[in-house]
């Protein structure tokens, strides 16, 4: 029997192409390559730079750039394909795979979120992106936060979905206790079907039912580079006495779930309180209406992709001032 997710991959690639995106590997440095899904015009312009006769052609962007950074539970395409469909009409969408996911690779020993952010920022600039809004899910939100701090001229505003600007050690221990696992490596790099169900149950509200064979296919297809990913998880945790919430120059819009066991609302509100105490000119927005976690309305329309996309888009508009 063919692996379900290996069969699904070309279908998702065709779907991305349907919405005007193409895959492009971008060499950040020798030995470091990031895989991006980017608009056709951007990919063509990037390839033309290798041609001396065409490398002076400047790409004109018709829509604001939106960068979608995935978390640990899947690749960029698998995480964001529905949002690409909902948002591509108003934004130029960029979907990278962070290092050690989906073909992005490095021979560097660096594993920190800061290094991930540095590589993504370089890749976006090589693709011709000068200014963008970053949306990060879970681990992707941490990477996006580092991008916002290190390159404020690139990141115009930041949206965090079930994420935070960092993970101090005390928050990490409390979250592991809430989930009931011993370490993030055990949690995010499952080796059994039951472990995978626990993982998906912690990152997806009301985890959908799948037969066990589908979970086995997911395990086989999605969890390569295990040693390197384990190092990414270890590098994510910050000692409490070294954890500092930056005074961001951008507005931040945080979508926090009531049922989120990792980045719960208490943690998110601490970030907001700290930002306000720093008298930042740019606020952290936390919506009163939550849909990623304990959203209790039982009507199907309020669970639709369109509703979620409109909700995120509203946050982007509020921040960017469109």
Q: Which fold has domain 4-320?
A: Rossmann fold (3.40.50)
67 pLDDT exceeds 90?
A: yes
The residue-averaged pLDDT of 293-300 equals: 35
User: Residue 136 and residue 158: Cα distance in Å, rounded?
Assistant: 8
Q: What is the pLDDT of residue 286?
A: 47
Over residues 299-315, the pLDDT tens digits come to 333 444 455 555 555 55
Span 154-180, pLDDT tens digits: 999 888 888 888 899 999 999 899 888
pTM: 0.84
* Mean per-residue pLDDT, 205-233: 87
Round the average pLDDT of the chain to a whole number and report it.
82
Ordered by start, the domain boundaries in the chain are 4-320
Residue 283 binned pLDDT confidence (cut-offs 50, 70, 90) = very low
Per-residue confidence (pLDDT) for residue 226, from 0 to 100? 93
Mean pLDDT of 74-87: 90
The pLDDT value recorded for residue 51 is 57
């Amino acid at each position: 029997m063919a692996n379900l997710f290996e069969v699904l991959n070309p279908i998702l690639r065709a779907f991305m192409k349907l919405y005007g995106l193409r895959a492009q590997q971008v060499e950040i440095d020798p030995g470091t390559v990031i895989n991006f899904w980017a608009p056709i015009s951007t990919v063509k312009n990037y390839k033309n730079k290798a041609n001396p006769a065409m490398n002076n052609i400047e790409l004109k962007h018709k829509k604001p750039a939106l960068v979608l950074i995935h978390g640990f539970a899947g690749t960029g395409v698998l995480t964001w394909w529905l949002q690409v469909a909902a948002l591509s009409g108003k934004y130029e969408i960029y979907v990278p795979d962070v290092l050690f996911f989906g073909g992005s690779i490095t021979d560097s020993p660096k594993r920190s979120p800061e290094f991930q952010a540095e590589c993504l920022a370089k890749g976006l600039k090589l693709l011709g992106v000068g200014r963008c809004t970053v949306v990060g899910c879970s681990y992707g939100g941490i990477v996006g936060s580092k991008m916002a701090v290190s390159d404020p001229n690139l990141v115009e505003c930041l949206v965090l979905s079930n994420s935070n600007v960092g993970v101090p050690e005390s928050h990490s221990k409390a979250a592991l206790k809430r989930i009931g696992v011993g370490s993030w490596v055990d949690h995010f790099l499952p080796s059994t079907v039951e472990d995978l169900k626990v993982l998906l149950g912690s990152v997806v509200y009301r985890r959908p039912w799948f037969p066990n064979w589908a979970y086995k296919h997911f395990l086989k297809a999605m969890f390569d580079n295990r040693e390197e990913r384990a190092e990414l998880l270890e590098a994510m945790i910050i000692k409490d006495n070294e954890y500092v919430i930056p005074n961001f120059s951008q507005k931040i819009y945080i979508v926090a779930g009531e049922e989120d066991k990792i980045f719960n609302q208490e943690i998110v509100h601490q970030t907001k309180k700290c930002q306000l105490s720093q008298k930042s000119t740019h606020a952290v927005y936390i919506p009163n209406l939550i849909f990623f976690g304990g959203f209790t309305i039982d009507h199907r329309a309020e669970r639709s992709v369109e509703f979620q996309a409109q909700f995120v888009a509203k946050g982007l508009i509020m921040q960017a001032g469109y």
